[in-house]
Every structure is written in structure tokens, then in C-alpha cells.
Amino acid sequence: MKRFIPILGLLLLAIGGVSYAIAGAMQTYMAALIWAGLLCLLFFFYVSFSDIKNILSGRSAKYGANTALMTGVFVVLLIFTVFMSTKYKAKWDMTATKRYTLSNQTLKLLGSLKKDIEAVAFYRGDERTRQAMQDLLSEYKHNSPRFTYQFIDPDKNPALAAKYNVTSYRTTLIRSGNKEEVVGFESEEKLTNALLKVSRDEVKTIYFLKGHGENNILDMQNSGYKAAKEAVEKENYLVKEVVLLTLEKVPDDAAVLVVSGPKKELLPDEIKKLTAYINRGGKVLFMLDPGTVPQIVAYLKDFGFQVGDDIIIDKLSQVFGANYLTPVVTEYDKDHPITKEFNVASFFPLARSVDIESDPAKGRYDLAKTGDASWAETNKKALEEGKAEYNEGKDKKGPVSIAAVAAVEVGEGEHGGHNKDVEGKKTYAKLVVLGDSDFVNNTNINLAGNKDFFLNTVNWLAEEADMISIRKKEPDATPVVLTASQGRLIFWLPVIIIPSLVLVTGIGILTRRRQKK
């Protein structure tokens, strides 16, 4: 009977200790189990003291001491390894969609922070989504010394919740100085947008030209630009429409003017206003569909752009499930910031060629080109009859440029103006011309790299270099969310309980074999 007492004591200690580890809080029955286990062990040591003394003085005890010493060294090394891994973290995201890796856009933003940012997350201790937000915030902190965060339980600290004027759970405040933004869900996109708003001193305005049949930024139909407008707004810009006929000039707060798919020509007075905007260092994005606005095409020729009166044919597009009138772009200029790190295919349905003579000194680049299997078809009649084919000397053989950029030094000359700003530095206008506008309508904006290419262009024109990146796609899979107790159970069961049972069983078998000998 006496030999069962230590087994009972150890069992009671194990049950009480594991229950405490899983629950996360000491309860009365747990304390009673642990205390009863300790009493059983103390009683066993008292009544078996002489037997224990004889065992420890024997030869087997020496070998046992050596084993204990080696075990102790192993445990110390294990603890040291855990400590070092906690202090110096290294992680690898093995998921197919890189679910646990921050997007390049977020990483660039965190790396360029010039202000201290604090996140205050209000979650209950047992809130099932708390861990997801904590994982996300810890990634932000890991990538920027200027980012800090803390969690507050509104139930335990109602005074702090009242101080921050928080009335609901799952609320995270992003604060910097006097600026504050509220994030209601565990979303990298929402968190990064909040960071943008509190870290920037101003919100820049992107204007879309209106009045010439341009794509409507309020239209929710397939050909509309509502999705493009929302995508730009998510980059923390203010988006507005502008009708030049009703204004004396392009608004002074225009960070970028977008001319998207005009069907009619600009009037001479509007051209003058556009030129005046360029002369003061304006940034303009032209997206011109095939067969439209020849006067604007001629206007852009003065800045070095060659916008073709053609339609690009691309046989490679059929491999991707599109028709041959949807050229696929996989070749990008790696020297220009817009496309330097861009490696995603883009699709341009019904596009025309746009060339410029490459000259880095003048900021002139062909940004994106179609493949070798493409050409710029000039015979529109043959195209309508379905008989289009490449003709040497008439058509332009691929790769065909579909987008080009130029940095125009504003100085005395044909377009007038001044070439120095108040600090004596040269002033440059920036122009980007694309041979298609449909690639970012509501139907096509989410195709491969279309949205990223468009937003990178807008960000470069708006002089927000830290926002030029390939944005993270939303994951398809849904993660399993565990409560805190479930998480501790998942840890204790395979890591502690099962291995300890195997260890105890092995020791028991070894002891029985020695007793039989």
C-alpha cells in the first residue's frame, strides 16, 4: 500500500497543475489537488526515509546522479535556446498565400515612419479574435521601432476605456500626436490605412477630369470606375472630379490629374489650363483608348510621346484565357520606380501603343511592353473582318510599349514657365501615358497586376514613393480561431502531457526489468 502513495501524490499534482495551466487561473479545486499531492509525497518521504537513504547511498544512485546531471544540462540548454529564440526571432511563412507575411506596402510604410505610432487595442481577455490582432500588431512592432501597442480589457479597466472614449469591444485606436483613427477589425489593410492617416501631415487630392466622356468614378456598372476610385481612396487620398470648363485653372491642391478614357477632345481653353498646370510642376496621368482624341495625341507629341493610331494584337493572351485583343504585359522597366519591383502580369483589353525615346537623363522610359508574339495592327478594316495579320513595314512588331513616362523640366520655352522653385532646385512636371483605360474599370481592375500597376503610377505621380509596391491579396482560406484555454490545451496535450506519460511509462518498464534481474 505504501508504494502507491507517491504515485497518487504525483497524479494529484499533475492533475492540479495541468488544470491550472489550461484554465489560466487558480481555482479552489486545483489548489486542493496540488495540496493533497504534496501531502502524499511528504508522508511517503517521512515513512520511507530510511529506505530512501539506503537507495541514495547505493551504486545505482551514483549512476542516477549522473543521469540527473546530464538531464539538468539538457534542460538548461533547452531553456537557453528558448530564451534566445524569444529574443532573436526568425520566422518563415510556409502558407501558399503568405497569410502571415505583411505586404510590401505595409513594410515600406513601417520602414519610412518618421513619427511614433501607438496602437491601443480594447479586447476582452477571452475574446476569440484577440490573438489574431495581437499577432498582427506584433508583426508591425517587429518591423518598426516607432510602432508600439498595448491591450486593454474594457471589463477590467473601464476607466481607461472611458478615457479613450471607447464603447465597444474589438476596437483598436491608432494614435500619433493629436491624430487618432479607429480600426474595428483584425485587418492589415485597415490597420495600414489608419497608419497612413495618422502619420501623414496632409491628405493629397487626386482629380479625375470630367466632361469629355471619361470613365465615371461613381459608376458601379462593369465599365465604370467606382472600384478604381475606392482603390485610390484606400491609399489615403481624397478623390474628386473636376470640370475645367467651369474653373479658371486646375485646382492648386491637385496632387495628380487623371485623364481617363476621354471620348471627345479638350477645348482650346482647357488645353491652356492643362498646360498651365504642367508648367507649375503638375502631375498628369493620361489613359487614352484606341481611335480616340487625336488632338490630345498631337499635344502629347510635344512632350516626346508617340501614341499610335493602332490596336495591339497579342496571341499570348489566348494562353491566359483572354482574346487576342487583350495584350498581356510581363516586361517592365526595372530602372523606373513605378515598375522597379513589379513582377506581375497585367492585362490591357483593347489597347494602343505608347512609345517614348528612352532617355533616363530626361526621365523618359517605356514602362511596360507586350511579348514577342504581339504587334500593333494599323489595318483596322482587316481587324474588323477578323483577318488581321502582321505586315512587315506597316505594323509594329512586338514587344510593343503600352505605357510611357516623362519628367518634364519646367522652363522658359515652348510651354513657358519657370525652371526654379523657391529653393533654387529644378521643378519637374511628370506625365504618364497609357494606351488603355479599361484595364482598371470595375470588370478588370482585379485582374492579376492591373490594380497594382495603376496605383503604383498614381503614387509615383503623387510623390508617395513608400506606397509603390505589390499589394497583398486577400487569402482564400479561413483560419481556425481558438480561445485562450483551447490554445493552452493544444500546447499542453501534445507537448507536455503525452511526452510525460511516455517518459513515466518508460521509467516504469525499466524499473520492473531491473527488479526482475
Q: What is the DSSP string of 86-100?
A: HHS------STT-TT
Higher pLDDT, 41 or 53: 41
Task: Locate 197 and state its grid cell.
Answer: 492617416
Which runs of E-coded beta strand occur in 342-453? 346-347, 354-356, 365-370, 374-377, 396-397, 401-409, 428-434
Q: What's the number of CA atoms in the CB half-sphere (13 Å) around residue 390? A: 15
Whether residues 189 and 293 fall in one domain: no
* Banded model confidence at residue 418, pLDDT cuts 50, 70, 90: very low
Select from 154, 172, 198 the last residue of a domain: 198
Whether residues 213 and 264 fall in one domain: yes
CA distances from 180 to 160, 175, 193, 273, 464 (A): 16, 5, 12, 38, 21
Model confidence over 100-116: pLDDT tens digits? 678 777 887 888 888 89
Q: Nearest Cα to 124, choosing from 136, 114, 133? A: 133
- Judged against a pLDDT cut of 50, whether residue 17 lies above it is answered with yes
For residue 59, the model assigns a pLDDT of: 64
Least confident of 78-87, 186-195, 327-336: 78-87
Whether residues 360 and 416 fall in one domain: yes
For residue 419, the model assigns a pLDDT of: 42
β-strands 328-332, 428-434 pairing: unpaired
Q: Is 498 within a domain? A: no
Q: Is 182 within a domain? A: yes
Model confidence over 402-417: pLDDT tens digits? 999 999 888 543 444 4
Whether residues 329 and 424 fall in one domain: yes
Q: Is 501 within a domain? A: no
The sheet that has 311-314: what strands, in order across it?
A: 311-314, 374-377, 396-397
β-strands 311-314, 305-307 pairing: unpaired
Least confident of 224-228, 339-343, 417-421, 426-430: 417-421
Output 221-224 pairs: Cβ under 8 A, ≥24 positions apart: 221/442, 222/441, 222/442, 222/443, 223/438, 223/441, 223/442, 223/443, 224/441, 224/442
CA 282 to chain centroid, in Å, comes to: 29
Q: Is 2 within a domain? A: no
Residue 143: CB partners within 8 Å, gap ≥ 6?
102, 106, 107, 110, 111
Q: What is the CATH number of the domain that holds 186?
A: 3.40.30.10
Alpha helices (H) in 200-281, listed in sequence order: 226-234, 268-279
Model confidence over 419-456: pLDDT tens digits? 444 445 678 899 999 999 999 999 999 888 899 899 99
Q: Is 426 within a domain? A: yes
Higher pLDDT, 312 or 16: 312
Q: Is 509 within a domain? A: no
Q: What is the CATH number of the domain that holds 275?
A: 3.40.50.880
DSSP letter at 359 equals: B
**Cβ-contact 45, 2 below 8 angstroms:** no
What is the three-class DSSP state of 453?
Answer: helix
- Return the number of other C-beta atoms located less than 10 Å from residue 295's C-beta: 13
β-strands 401-409, 396-397 pairing: unpaired
Whether residues 219 and 325 fall in one domain: yes
Select from 463, 478, 503 the last residue of a domain: 463
- Return the number of other C-beta atoms located less than 10 Å from residue 443's C-beta: 15
Whether residues 312 and 346 fall in one domain: yes
Whether residues 128 and 226 fall in one domain: no
Model confidence over 272-301: pLDDT tens digits? 999 999 999 999 999 999 999 999 999 999
**Cβ-contact 237, 456 below 8 angstroms:** no
* Banded model confidence at residue 84, pLDDT cuts 50, 70, 90: low
Query: To the nearest whole number, what is the mean pLDDT of the chain?
Result: 82
What is the three-class DSSP state of 516?
Answer: helix
Whether residues 224 and 283 fall in one domain: yes
**Cβ-contact 304, 373 below 8 angstroms:** no
- How many domains does the chain divide into? 2
**Cβ-contact 455, 231 below 8 angstroms:** yes
Whether residues 277 and 339 fall in one domain: yes
For residue 412, the model assigns a pLDDT of: 45
Q: Which residue has the cell 480589457?
A: 153
Distance separating alpha carbons of residues 83 and 105, to the nearest angstrom: 32
Distance separating alpha carbons of residues 295 and 301, to the nearest angstrom: 10
Task: Locate 120 and state its grid cell.
Answer: 491601443
Whether residues 324 and 251 fall in one domain: yes
**Cβ-contact 290, 439 below 8 angstroms:** no
Distance separating alpha carbons of residues 196 and 466, to the nearest angstrom: 11
Higher pLDDT, 92 or 398: 398
Model confidence over 35-52: pLDDT tens digits? 888 888 787 777 776 766
Residue 356 identity: I
Domain hosting 299: range is 205-463
- Judged against a pLDDT cut of 80, whether residue 323 lies above it is answered with no
Task: Locate 174 and state its grid cell.
Answer: 491608432
Higher pLDDT, 88 or 301: 301
CA distances from 163 to 121, 154, 175, 197, 367 (A): 13, 11, 14, 22, 51
Higher pLDDT, 270 or 417: 270
Q: Is 113 within a domain? A: yes
DSSP letter at 54 equals: H
Whether residues 213 and 249 fall in one domain: yes
Whether residues 277 and 145 fall in one domain: no
- Judged against a pLDDT cut of 60, whether residue 369 lies above it is answered with yes
Task: Locate 321 and state its grid cell.
Answer: 484565357
Full-model pTM: 0.63
Distance separating alpha carbons of residues 77 and 80, to the nearest angstrom: 5
Select from 198, 232, 248 the last residue of a domain: 198
